[in-house]
Amino acid sequence: MTDRVFTSNELAGQRTELGFGRTVMALERTLMAWIRTSLSLISFGFTIFKFLEAMQDRTNAGTRGNAPRNLGLFLICLGIGVLVIAMFQFAQARRTVMSYSETKPPFSLSLVGAVGVLLVGLFTLLNIFFGLGGF
């Protein structure tokens, strides 16, 4: 087996490409963290809405009629908004990194997951507004 000696330019090019790969993986991890955060906000908003709605129906407490709905909608909209901003930031940063790299990474699975969570959030909004889904 022959050992090939790389020139300093070849080694620098390899290290640079590996650096781009690490940067793309860091972008993916950051998007996944935002997905978890937005999913938590969406699910917490829906849970609070359902819990406070049930408590209001049982006890007829002195809360405002739309207070559970408004609080739930605020948290759900916050989760959706944060996710949309994170998706745009991810796409922009990925385009910037890839403009300097010769190799193109495969399609982003975390972006697919973000779209899925976004659809869950929109479905949850429709459920609260129009009662779709039977929850």
* pLDDT means over runs of 10, the chain (135 residues): 70 66 87 96 91 79 72 93 96 87 80 94 87 66
Question: What are the phi and psi torsion angles at 51 (to 5°)?
Answer: -65, -50
Q: Spell out the residues 6+ positions from residue 42 whose beta carbon is closer than 8 angstroms to its own.
A: 75, 76, 79, 80, 117, 120, 121, 124
User: pTM value?
Assistant: 0.80
pLDDT of residue 114: 96
- Helices then strands, counting H and E runs in the chain, come out as 3, 0
Cα Rg of the chain, angstroms: 23
For the chain, report the end-to-end CA distance as a whole number of angstroms: 66
pLDDT of residue 14: 65
pLDDT of residue 102: 75
